[in-house]
C-alpha cells in the first residue's frame, strides 16, 4: 500500500502539469482579452496595452505558463485578473459547496444503487426489467436537463423544495440539507441507475455460483447469504463504477451548480472562463485533477480492504 501511495503521488505531479498545460493553451485559443474586458469598450488601445503589460499578458505563452508553474510549485496559484484575490482563497471559499454536493451524491449513488441492484438480483422478474428501462433513461438524460426539470416541477410548480440558494452546514444544517436535495437528485440519477445495473449483474453472477447453492443446501438463511457473501463479492466491480461515477460528477456539478445558483467551484470556473480569467481556471483545473487522483487512490485502497487477494501496485 505504501508503494501504491508513493506511485500515485509521483503520478499526480505529472498529471497536474499535463492538465495545466492543456488548460493553459486551450484557454489561449478562446476569443477574448481580459484587459479589454476590465477597461470596457470605451478604453483606448494605449490603455489596453498598458494593462496587458501590467498583467503580463504581453509575454509569450511559454513565458506566461512558466511563470505560473513556478508559482504553483511554491503553492501560489496566482491572483484573479479581475478581482485581485488569491486564487487559493477563492477556491477554498467555494470548496465546501462543491464538496457537499459531490459527497451527498456519492452516498446516494452508492447506497441507493447498491440496494436497488441487490433487490433486483434477488427478486428478479418485473423489477429487473424496470431497472433496465430506468437505467437507459438515466443514461440518456443529462444532469443539467434533469436539474431544469426538477426546478420547474418540484421547486416552482409544487414548491416543495427551494429552487436556488445555499446555506452553510455550520449556520443551519436543516436548510443546508433542504437546499441540496434537488441538486443531489439531479446529479445522482444517472449514477444510481448505472451502479444498480452493475450491482445486479454482479450479484446474479455470484448467486449462480456453486458455493451459494451449498450454503442454501446447508440451511444458511437467505439474508445472511445475500449480505455476507453476495454483497461482498459483488462490491468489487460495482466499486469501480462508483469511482468512475464520482469522477464524472465533477462535470455534472458544473452545470448543476449553475442551474441551482450554488456558489461552488462549478459557477466559479464558469464565470472565470467567460471572463477569460486564466489564473482562476488553472487553479480550479488543478484542484479537479487532484480530486480525480484522490478518488482513484481511495478506490484502489478499498479494493485491498474488501478483497485481501487483490494486490495493487
Contacts 24+ apart (CB under 8 A), 227-233: 230/118, 230/121, 230/203, 230/206, 231/114, 231/118, 231/203, 232/306, 233/202, 233/206
Per-residue model confidence (pLDDT) at position 170: 86
C-alpha torsion 183→185→190→195, nearest 10:
120
**Is residue 1, in this structure, part of any structural domain at all?**
no
What is the rounded distance in angstroms from the CA atom of residue 52 to the CA atom of residue 67?
15
Domain count, the chain: 1
Nearest to 118 by CA among 193, 220, 196: 196
**Is residue 162, in this structure, part of any structural domain at all?**
yes
Concatenated DSSP letters of 158-171 = S--S-SS----TTT
**Is residue 136, in this structure, part of any structural domain at all?**
yes
Per-residue model confidence (pLDDT) at position 166: 87
Q: Which domain holds residue 121?
A: 94-268
- Full-model pTM: 0.83
**Is residue 295, in this structure, part of any structural domain at all?**
no
Consecutive H or E run containing 243: helix 231-259
**Is residue 104, in this structure, part of any structural domain at all?**
yes
Per-residue model confidence (pLDDT) at position 312: 46
Per-residue model confidence (pLDDT) at position 310: 54
Q: Residue-wise pLDDT tens for the chain (313 aa)?
A: 667 677 777 777 888 888 888 888 888 777 777 787 777 777 788 888 888 888 787 788 888 888 888 888 888 888 888 888 999 999 999 999 999 999 999 999 989 888 888 888 887 767 667 766 776 676 677 788 888 888 888 888 888 888 888 888 888 898 899 999 999 999 998 888 888 888 888 888 888 888 888 888 888 888 888 888 888 888 777 888 888 888 888 888 888 999 998 999 999 999 888 888 888 999 999 899 888 888 888 877 777 666 666 554 4
**Is residue 288, in this structure, part of any structural domain at all?**
no
**Is residue 303, in this structure, part of any structural domain at all?**
no
Per-residue model confidence (pLDDT) at position 313: 46
**Is residue 194, in this structure, part of any structural domain at all?**
yes
Per-residue model confidence (pLDDT) at position 302: 76
Per-residue model confidence (pLDDT) at position 304: 67
Q: For residue 213, give the CATH number of its domain.
A: 1.10.3720.10
Amino acid at each position: 500500500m505504501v508503494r501504491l501511495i508513493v506511485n500515485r503521488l509521483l503520478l499526480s505531479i505529472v498529471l497536474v502539469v499535463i492538465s495545466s498545460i492543456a488548460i493553459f493553451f486551450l484557454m489561449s485559443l478562446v476569443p477574448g482579452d481580459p484587459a479589454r474586458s476590465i477597461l470596457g469598450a470605451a478604453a483606448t488601445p494605449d490603455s489596453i496595452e498598458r494593462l496587458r503589460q501590467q498583467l503580463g499578458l504581453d509575454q509569450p505563452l511559454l513565458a506566461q505558463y512558466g511563470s505560473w508553474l513556478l508559482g504553483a510549485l511554491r503553492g501560489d496559484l496566482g491572483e484573479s485578473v479581475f478581482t485581485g484575490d488569491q486564487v487559493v482563497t477563492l477556491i477554498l471559499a467555494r470548496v465546501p459547496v462543491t464538496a457537499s454536493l459531490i459527497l451527498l451524491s456519492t452516498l446516494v449513488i452508492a447506497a441507493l444503487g447498491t440496494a436497488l441492484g441487490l433487490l433486483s438480483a434477488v427478486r428478479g422478474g418485473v423489477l429487473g426489467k424496470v431497472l433496465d428501462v430506468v437505467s437507459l433513461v438515466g443514461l440518456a438524460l443529462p444532469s443539467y436537463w434533469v436539474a431544469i426539470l426538477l426546478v420547474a416541477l418540484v421547486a416552482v410548480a409544487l414548491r416543495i423544495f427551494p429552487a436556488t440558494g445555499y446555506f452553510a452546514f455550520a449556520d443551519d444544517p436543516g436548510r443546508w440539507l433542504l437546499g441540496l436535495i434537488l441538486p443531489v437528485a439531479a446529479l445522482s440519477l444517472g449514477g444510481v441507475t448505472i451502479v444498480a445495473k452493475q450491482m445486479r449483474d454482479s450479484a446474479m453472477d455470484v448467486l449462480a455460483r456453486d458455493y451459494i447453492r451449498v450454503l442454501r443446501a446447508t440451511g444458511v438463511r437467505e439474508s445472511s447469504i445475500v449480505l455476507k457473501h453476495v454483497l461482498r463479492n459483488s462490491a468489487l466491480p460495482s466499486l469501480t463504477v462508483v469511482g468512475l461515477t464520482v469522477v464524472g460528477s465533477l462535470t455534472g456539478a458544473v452545470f448543476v451548480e449553475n442551474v441551482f445558483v450554488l456558489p461552488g467551484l462549478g459557477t466559479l470556473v464558469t464565470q472565470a472562463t467567460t471572463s477569460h480569467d486564466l489564473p482562476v481556471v488553472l487553479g480550479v483545473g488543478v484542484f479537479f485533477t487532484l480530486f480525480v487522483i484522490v478518488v482513484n487512490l481511495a478506490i484502489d485502497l478499498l479494493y485491498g480492504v474488501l478483497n485481501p487477494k487483490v494486490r495493487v501496485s
